[in-house]
């Protein structure tokens, strides 16, 4: 399965309106001739035609599945056709840029599977309504560029509302009509905790309690000895101040074997601050204190941590996760096998199906014909245009104009319905799917 998201960033930021100038054509020609080492290899006439006849707007039509849709892999997600027969070559000139949509849709898909995983534990051991803030995006520094962080960070926000990746917020402001897509809380970093040396760590913790007498704050507590910090600093020296606060201190664990450190920290904090047993029979720490694990977090470690907590009687309510590299970086175009191929052409007025079928890998066969996406027996399928069902692909772009604009609110709603349906399907079939590379 996959969650389709991110095409609109390309439409808004790179494809709409006048996108071509004479200067651009000059530069591209120079580049192409130097690159290939000969003159006359650049389609100057073609680009000049678009500038002259179409005013620098791209004469193509793009159809795509609505953003936020959850559907099986191996389906058509978008199509592009030229609207001017002279510009038959333009569709594939746009391949590279359009296929880059693999990145936001793969991050959004992985984030959806992480949401399903955490939701399962919240349902079994705690309160599922807490899901929005259970997986915080720490990934901006692990991204190679601010642009990449923005695209990936915005994708996580289709499923969750916690982020420290500011560029992701800006992507939603610019492209999805959302003024504030994600939230955070005051939190320390190690530079703060270690600024006064080893003996000053407790003082810095206290400083945070004074500066923020109410609300939720996060304090990274592993600078020297996380167990000592839980037992003696939070649990003894600052215990009364934590209890007197109108809010929650989130103790951030940031090193060591995650399962071991989480369980031992919960044991100490439970002993020092107390815990109650919820209606599902699992322990929940006193509401003044919680933990966040922000190191070594990925799908497997989250599953291991939540499983170990459950086995030891701890509700998933006690913990949040901060995820960086594995959220925004441990994905590539093969994760969901995204590709863009020619499936149809028209030569002298006659339409032909076009496809590849390499004998070395049937998994690389491409689809043939003028494609559409339909729902048959409640399942998405890719068929040729002569099948009777209505096409679920929507025209989003034509001749330089965006034809259908999606807001984040609408995308979130569709993604939520899609995930709920996926969870129901899995319950019925008793199978659980991971970040799917096959169906």
Binding footprint of ligand AOY on the chain (CB under 6 A):
136, 138, 164, 184-185, 187, 218, 250, 252, 292, 294, 322
Cβ neighbourhood burial of 226 (10 Å; 0-12, 13-18, 19+):
buried
Nearer to ligand AOY, 28 or 130 (CB): 130
DSSP per-residue string spanning 364-398: G----SSEEEEEETTEEEEEETTSSSPP--EEEEE
437 contacts: CB under 8 Å, gap ≥ 6:
73, 334, 335, 336, 337
What CA–CA distances, in Å, run from 347 to 80, 82, 86, 104, 352? 17, 13, 12, 35, 8
∠ CA 389-394-399, nearest 5°, is 135
User: What is the C-alpha to C-alpha distance for residues 98 and 10, in angstroms, rounded to an integer?
Assistant: 7
**Rounded least distance, CB 167 to ligand AOY, Å:** 13
Nearer to ligand AOY, 306 or 327 (CB): 327
User: What is the C-alpha to C-alpha distance for residues 75 and 2, in angstroms, rounded to an integer?
Assistant: 10
Nearer to ligand AOY, 136 or 412 (CB): 136
Nearer to ligand AOY, 92 or 184 (CB): 184
**Rounded least distance, CB 285 to ligand AOY, Å:** 16
What CA–CA distances, in Å, run from 202 to 195, 235, 244, 295, 398? 11, 11, 17, 22, 61
Nearer to ligand AOY, 189 or 420 (CB): 189
Nearer to ligand AOY, 289 or 292 (CB): 292
**Rounded least distance, CB 184 to ligand AOY, Å:** 5
**Rounded least distance, CB 251 to ligand AOY, Å:** 9
User: What is the C-alpha to C-alpha distance for residues 300 and 307, in angstroms, rounded to an integer?
Assistant: 10
Nearer to ligand AOY, 65 or 291 (CB): 291
Report, in angstroms and rounded to the nearest whole number, the Rg of the chain calculated over CA atoms. 26
268 contacts: CB under 8 Å, gap ≥ 6:
227, 230, 231, 235
**Rounded least distance, CB 189 to ligand AOY, Å:** 7
When CB distances to ligand AOY are compared, the closest residue is: 218
Nearer to ligand AOY, 297 or 373 (CB): 297
Residue 398 in tokens = 């034509």
User: What is the C-alpha to C-alpha distance for residues 126 and 434, in angstroms, rounded to an integer?
Assistant: 23
**Rounded least distance, CB 116 to ligand AOY, Å:** 22
Nearer to ligand AOY, 219 or 419 (CB): 219
**Rounded least distance, CB 140 to ligand AOY, Å:** 7
**Rounded least distance, CB 361 to ligand AOY, Å:** 40
73 contacts: CB under 8 Å, gap ≥ 6:
1, 2, 336, 337, 436, 437, 438, 439
The continuous run of DSSP H or E covering 284 comes out as strand 283-285
**Rounded least distance, CB 85 to ligand AOY, Å:** 51
User: What is the C-alpha to C-alpha distance for residues 260 and 161, in angstroms, rounded to an integer?
Assistant: 28
Nearer to ligand AOY, 65 or 292 (CB): 292
Which is it for the CA torsion 166, 172, 175, 178, positive or negative?
negative
Residue 243 in tokens = 């209890």
**Rounded least distance, CB 416 to ligand AOY, Å:** 23
Per-residue DSSP letter, 213: -
- Residue of 336, 298, 306 whose CA lies nearest to 126: 306
Nearer to ligand AOY, 16 or 184 (CB): 184
**Rounded least distance, CB 226 to ligand AOY, Å:** 14
């Amino acid at each position: 399965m996959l969650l389709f998201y991110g095409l609109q960033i390309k439409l808004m930021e790179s494809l709409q309106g006048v996108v071509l100038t004479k200067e651009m054509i000059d530069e591209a020609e120079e580049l192409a001739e130097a690159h290939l080492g000969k003159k006359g290899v650049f389609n100057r006439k073609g680009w000049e035609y678009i500038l002259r006849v179409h005013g620098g707007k791209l004469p193509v039509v793009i159809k795509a599945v609505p953003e936020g849709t959850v559907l099986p892999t191996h389906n058509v997600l978008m199509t592009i056709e030229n609207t001017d027969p002279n510009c038959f070559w333009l569709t594939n000139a746009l391949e590279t840029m359009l296929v880059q949509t693999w990145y936001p849709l793969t991050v959004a898909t992985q984030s959806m599977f992480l949401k399903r995983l955490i939701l399962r534990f919240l349902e079994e051991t705690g309160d599922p309504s807490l899901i929005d803030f259970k997986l915080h995006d720490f990934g901006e520094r692990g991204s190679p560029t601010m642009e990449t962080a923005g695209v990936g960070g915005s994708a996580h926000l289709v499923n969750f509302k916690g982020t420290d990746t500011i560029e992701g917020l800006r992507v939603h402001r610019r492209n999805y009509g959302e003024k504030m897509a994600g939230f955070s809380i005051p939190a320390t970093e190690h530079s703060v905790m270690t600024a006064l040396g080893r003996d000053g760590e407790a003082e810095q913790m206290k400083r945070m309690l004074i500066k923020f007498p109410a609300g939720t704050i996060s304090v990274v507590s592993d600078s020297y000895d996380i167990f000592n910090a839980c037992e003696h600093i939070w649990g003894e020296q600052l215990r009364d101040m934590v209890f007197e606060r109108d809010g929650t201190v989130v103790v951030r664990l940031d090193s060591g074997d995650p399962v071991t450190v989480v369980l031992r920290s919960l044991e100490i904090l439970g002993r020092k601050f107390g815990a109650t047993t919820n209606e599902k029979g699992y322990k929940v720490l006193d509401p003044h204190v919680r933990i966040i694990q922000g190191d070594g977090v990925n799908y497997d470690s989250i599953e291991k941590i939540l499983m170990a907590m459950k086995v030891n009687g701890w509700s998933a309510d006690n913990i949040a996760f901060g995820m960086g590299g594995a959220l925004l970086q441990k994905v590539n175009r093969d994760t969901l096998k995204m590709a863009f191929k020619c499936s149809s052409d028209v030569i002298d007025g006659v339409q032909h199906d076009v496809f590849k079928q390499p004998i070395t890998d049937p998994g690389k066969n491409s689809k043939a014909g003028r494609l559409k996406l339909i729902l048959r027996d409640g399942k998405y399928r890719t068929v040729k245009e002569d099948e009777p069902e209505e096409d679920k692909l929507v025209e989003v772009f034509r001749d330089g104009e965006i034809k259908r604009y999606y807001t984040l609110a609408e995308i979130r709603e569709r993604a939520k319905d899609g995930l709920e349906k996926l969870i129901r399907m899995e319950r019925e079939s008793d199978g659980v799917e991971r970040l799917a590379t096959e169906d």
